[in-house]
Amino acid sequence: MPQENPVIEVKNVVKSFKTVQAVRGVNLRIFQGQFVALLGPNGAGKTTLVEMIEGIQKPDEGEIYILGKKWKGNDDELRKIIGLSLQETRFIDKLTVRETIKLFASFFELDDARGEEIISIVGLEEKKKSYVVNLSGGQRQRLALGIALLNNPKILLLDEPTTGLDPNARREIWAILQGLKIRSQTSMILTTHYMEEAEKLCDHIVIIDNGLILREGTLKELLSDENAGQPGTGRHSKVSNLDDLFTVLTGRHLHE
Amino acid sequence: MNSPFRYKQLIQLTLAYFRQIIREPGVLFWGIAFPILMSLGLGLAFTKKADIFRDVAWIKTQNIPASQEGSLIRTFLEEHQAKAEKDKDGNLYYRLTILNDKLGNTTFTFRIMDWQKAMVMLKRGNLTMIIGENNGKIEYHFDPLNPDAQLIYLKLSDLFQNPSVLTQNSNPDIKPLTVTGTRYIDFLVPGLIAMGVMMSIMWGISYEIIDNRAKKLLRRMVATPMKKSHYLIALITVRIGMNFVESGFLFLFTWLAFGIKVQGSVTALLTIFMAGNISFAGIAIFMSSHTAKTEIGNGLINLVSMPMMVLSGIFFSYHNFPDWSQSIIQKFPLTMLADGVRSVFIEGAGFAEITIPTLILAGIGIIFFIAGLKIFRWH
C-alpha cells in the first residue's frame, strides 16, 4: 500500500466497560482504497473498535483521526463521508425499499437518481416496491449495504455484514463489495469471524483478540509469518490458513 | 447543508412515520375505530333508558312445605299478579315488573331456594339479594357496600311497603334533563378525546423511539448527517397530526350520533388540545430517553398512563374519590386536559378559563422534553 497519509489512524486506543477492558492499546493505520478485515471471535473487541472509529464511542485513552480530523467538532463533516452497515439493522417495516433509500438519501441531501442507482447496485430492482418487512434476511442486508453506499463513502464500516446469512446471500454481498473495490477508492473496515470472507475481500487482515491486535498484514504475510508460534513455547510453525493461524496465536478457534 | 433546518430530511422523516401509521390497519383501528366504538357503547348504555332485570333468592323456611312457606311474600306476589313459572329444572319462580317511563322498568325474579344454594349463587354474582321472613317481617340479606344491592334493596323494600309503585307507571316529580351538556355522553366524549391524546402520544412516540433504539435504527440514523432534532420533530408532528384526525373522527361521529356540541370557544378548545399534546409529547420523550428494551418501555408507558386513565375522571367523575386525593388527581396532566376540554365542550368555557391549565400543560411538556433530551441515548 502507498504510504500516504492514512484515512483512518488509531493511536494507542483503550476502552473499558465497567470491569471489562474491551480494547487494550490498539494502533492501526488504514489507507485510501484499502479493504481491511478485523478478524476475531465474539468478544474480541472488533465492534467496540469500529464504534470508536464510527464516533459513537469515545476512547478512554488514545486518539482516533479520520482524514486527519478528530470526531470532536467535526461530527457533521465526518458523517458525510462515512458509510455504515451493522450486523443487524431493522428499518421501518412498512416502508418500501425505494422509500427507505429515499429517506436515507435525504439525510445526505442526495437526489432520487442516486437512490435508483443504489437499488440497481445492490440488485433490489424487483423488490423496490416491497415493504422492508417482507424482504428476506439477505435482501435486508443488501438494502443495509446499499444505504451504506448511498453517499459514495470515503470510509465504509461493515460490522459483520454477512453473519446469519446463507451462503448464497453471503456471496451476493461479497460480489457487491468486490465491485466496489474495483470501481472506487473507498477504504473499508470489515469485522468478521469468517476467515473466508476476510481472505476473499480484504487486502489487509488484522487479527484481534481480547482487545489486542495479535497480527496484521496481507494474507500472504500472515501465513508466511515465521513468528506465528505459540506464545511462550518458543516453537515456530508455518500455518496454511487464517483459522490455523488464529489457533496457533490464541489456542482457540475463531468460532469459539 | 449546514443550515439548522433541513427541509428535505424533515419532509422525508415525517412522510416515513406517517406512512408507517396509515399502512398499519391495527393502528387505525385502535386510534380511530376503537374510541368511536367505545363512545357508541357507553353512549348508548348511559343515554338509553335501560330496563333492569334482577334475580332475588327467596329462602324457604325450614320444615314448611314450599307451597305454604313464605306466606307474606307469596301473598304479596299473588295479590299483585306476579307471573308464576317453572325453570328448566322444574323449580318454581315468580316474576314481577315495576313499570316506569322515566327510570326504566325493573323486573324482579323471585327464585325459591335454600340458604346454601342462595349463597353459592350470590358468590357467583348471579344475584345480589336474598330475602326471607322472620316473625312476620321481610328480611333483606345483602352486601351494604355494593351499590347495586343497595339499589335493589331500596326498590324492593319500597315495593313491599308501597305496592302502588306497580301501577304508578311514572314519577311526575322527575323532570328529565335532556339538554346538551348534561348527558353522560357529553361528559364522556371530552374524556375520550383527552385519553386518546395521552395513549396515542405515549405509545406512538415513546414506544416508537424505544423500538427504533432496540432494532438499532436510531443508531443507524445518527450515523448519517441526519439532524437529531428533525427525527423528534417528525415523530411528534406525525403523532399530533394523527391526534387531530382521530379526535376529529370521534367528534364527527358523536355529533352525528348523539348531537354533541362544542358550547365554548373552538379556538380555546384547539389551544388546550395542542397544549395537552405538547405535555404528553414531552413526557413521552422523557420516558423513552434511555431504555432499549421494549419490555421495559411497555412497563414505563403503563406506569404513566394507567393511573391517570383510572383516576383522571375519563369515564366517571374523580369527585367520587376521597377528598384528600382530589387535589393530587387535579394536578395530573390527563386530568387538566380532560377538565379543560370538558369545560369548553359542556360549560361553554373560553380562553379565560383554560389559560392556566394550558400554560401548565405546555410547561410540563417543555420541562420533560428538555430533561429527556439531557439523558437521551441515541444508540
* pLDDT tens digits, one per residue of B26-79: 877 888 888 899 888 888 877 666 688 999 999 876 555 555 555 788 888 888
Q: Exposure of B256 by Cβ count < 10 A (0-12 exposed, 13-18 middle, 19+ buried)?
A: exposed
| CA-only gyration radius of chain B, Å | 28
CB B201, CB B284: distance < 8 Å: yes
* pLDDT tens digits, one per residue of A25-53: 999 999 999 999 998 888 889 999 999 99
ipTM, interface predicted TM-score of the complex: 0.88
Q: Each residue of B331-356: b (16+ CB within 10 Å) or e?
A: ebbbbbbbbbbbbbbbeebbeebbee
Q: Does B299 have pLDDT greater than 60?
A: yes
Backbone angles phi, psi at A202, to 5 degrees: -115, 145
**Structurally, how many domains does chain A consist of?**
1
**B148-162, B169-183, B200-214: range with lowest mean pLDDT:** B169-183
Q: How far is B220 from chain A (nearest CA, A)?
A: 7
Q: Does B311 have pLDDT greater than 90?
A: yes
Q: Is A31 a domain residue?
A: yes
Task: Find the CATH number of the domain harbouring A15.
Answer: 3.40.50.300
Asked whether the beta carbons of residue A90 and residue B217 sit closer than 8 angstroms, the reply is yes
**A74-88, A149-163, B56-70: range with lowest mean pLDDT:** B56-70
pLDDT the model gives residue B29:
86
Residue A232 pLDDT class (50, 70, 90 cuts): very low
pLDDT the model gives residue B62:
59
User: Over pLDDT 70: what percentage of chain B?
Assistant: 95
Across chain B, mean pLDDT equals 89
Rounded Cα gap, residues B348 and B342, in angstroms? 9
Q: Exposure of B259 by Cβ count < 10 A (0-12 exposed, 13-18 middle, 19+ buried)?
A: exposed
Torsion of CA B307, B310, B311, B312, to 10 degrees: 100
Among B77, B148, B63, residue whose Cα is nearest residue B110: B77
pLDDT the model gives residue A143:
95
Three-class DSSP category at A155: strand
More confident residue, A17 or B79: A17
A61-66 and A8-17 beta bridge pairing: antiparallel
Mean pLDDT of A220-237: 62
Pick the CATH number of B52-166 from 3.30.450, 3.40.190, 1.10.3470, 2.30.29: 3.40.190
Q: Which residues of B touch A86 (CB under 8 A)?
A: 216, 219-220
Q: Is A231 a domain residue?
A: no
Q: How far is A240 from chain B (nearest CA, A)?
A: 38
Q: Does A193 have pLDDT greater than 60?
A: yes
More confident residue, B91 or B255: B255
CB A81, CB A67: distance < 8 Å: yes
Report the DSSP beta bridge partners of residue B92: B86
Residue B137 is placed in which grid cell? 317481617
B228 vs A: CB within 8 A: no
Asked whether the beta carbons of residue B217 and residue A91 sit closer than 8 angstroms, the reply is yes
Q: Each residue of A218-249: b (16+ CB within 10 Å) or e?
A: ebeebbebeebeeeeeeeeeebeebbbbbbbb
Q: Does A73 have pLDDT greater than 80?
A: yes
Mean pLDDT of A123-136: 95
Q: Does A236 have pLDDT greater than 70?
A: no
* pLDDT tens digits, one per residue of B106-138: 999 999 888 999 999 999 888 989 999 888 889
Per the document, the length of chain A is: 256
Mean pLDDT of B246-256: 94
Expressed as residue numbers, the domain containing A49 is: 8-216
Q: Is A50 a domain residue?
A: yes
User: Over pLDDT 70: what percentage of chain A?
Assistant: 92
Domain locations in chain B as residue ranges: 7-46+179-375, 52-166
Q: At what angle do helices A112-121 and A137-149 cross, to 10 degrees?
A: 130
* Strand ranges (E), A74-145: 82-85
Mean pLDDT of B312-327: 91
Q: Which residues of A touch B224 (CB under 8 A)?
A: 79, 104, 107-108, 151
**A12-26, B76-90, B190-204: range with lowest mean pLDDT:** B76-90
Q: Is A240 a domain residue?
A: no
Mean pLDDT of A133-147: 93
B221: nearest CA partner in chain A: A104
Backbone angles phi, psi at A249, to 5 degrees: -75, -35
Asked whether the beta carbons of residue A76 and residue B225 sit closer than 8 angstroms, the reply is yes
Asked whether the beta carbons of residue B223 and residue A90 sit closer than 8 angstroms, the reply is no
Determine which of A103, A109, A158 to mutate to test the interface with B (most B C-beta atoms within 10 Å). Answer: A103
Q: Does A159 have pLDDT greater than 60?
A: yes
Three-class DSSP category at A28: strand
Three-class DSSP category at B197: helix
Across chain A, mean pLDDT equals 88
More confident residue, B32 or A176: A176
Torsion of CA A188, A189, A190, A195, to 10 degrees: 100
Mean pLDDT of A182-193: 91
Rounded Cα gap, residues B26 and B18, in angstroms? 14
Asked whether the beta carbons of residue A107 and residue B221 sit closer than 8 angstroms, the reply is yes
Q: Does B210 have pLDDT greater than 70?
A: yes
B5 vs A: CB within 8 A: no
Q: How far is A186 from chain B (nearest CA, A)?
A: 17
Q: Does A237 have pLDDT greater than 90?
A: no
Three-class DSSP category at A83: strand
Determine which of B224, B229, B233, B377 to mutate to test the interface with A (most A C-beta atoms within 10 Å). Answer: B224
Mean pLDDT of B339-346: 96
Asked whether the beta carbons of residue A79 and residue B223 sit closer than 8 angstroms, the reply is yes
Among A198, A161, A148, residue whose Cα is nearest residue A35: A198
DSSP B71-88: HHHHHHHHHTTPEEEE-T
pLDDT the model gives residue A233:
47
Q: Does A107 have pLDDT greater than 90?
A: yes
